[in-house]
Amino acid sequence: SAMAEGEALVSVDYEVFGKVQGVFFRKYTQGEAKRLGLVGWVQNTSHGTVQGQIQGPTARVQELQEWLRKIGSPQSRISRAEFSNEKKIEALEHKDFQILK
């Protein structure tokens, strides 16, 4: 899909804190990312959070950031979401949005 002019691609890492494991958080995140046409990954961490990376057009990435901050999966209880390493990229570094084990 051709990107609109001025639709810069960005990459951002995220970590979501709260009750986010055992509540299908990864599956819902993958679904939302695919709906928005984003690529990247999501995985559970050993300390009870969910982390990953998002890449895509800036506006869409911001939509998923907002979703990770406020919505999540139906049974999740998000206390906070942290974003880091935000940078512009020339091309997407992932083919799709994967759930990593």
Longest dimension (CA), the chain: 41
Per the CB < 8 A criterion, the answer to whether 53 and 14 are in contact is: yes
**In angstroms, rounded to a whole number, what is the distance separating the alpha carbons of residues 96 and 39?**
5
Q: Is 26 a catalytic residue?
A: yes
Asked if 80 is an active-site residue, the reply is no
Point out the catalytic residue in the list 26, 35, 60, 85. Answer: 26
Q: Catalytic pick from 35, 44, 77, 80?
A: 44
Distances 8 to 13, 15, 32, 41 between C-alpha atoms, Å: 17, 23, 20, 20
Contact 72, 34 (CB under 8 A): no
Catalytic residue annotation = 26, 44
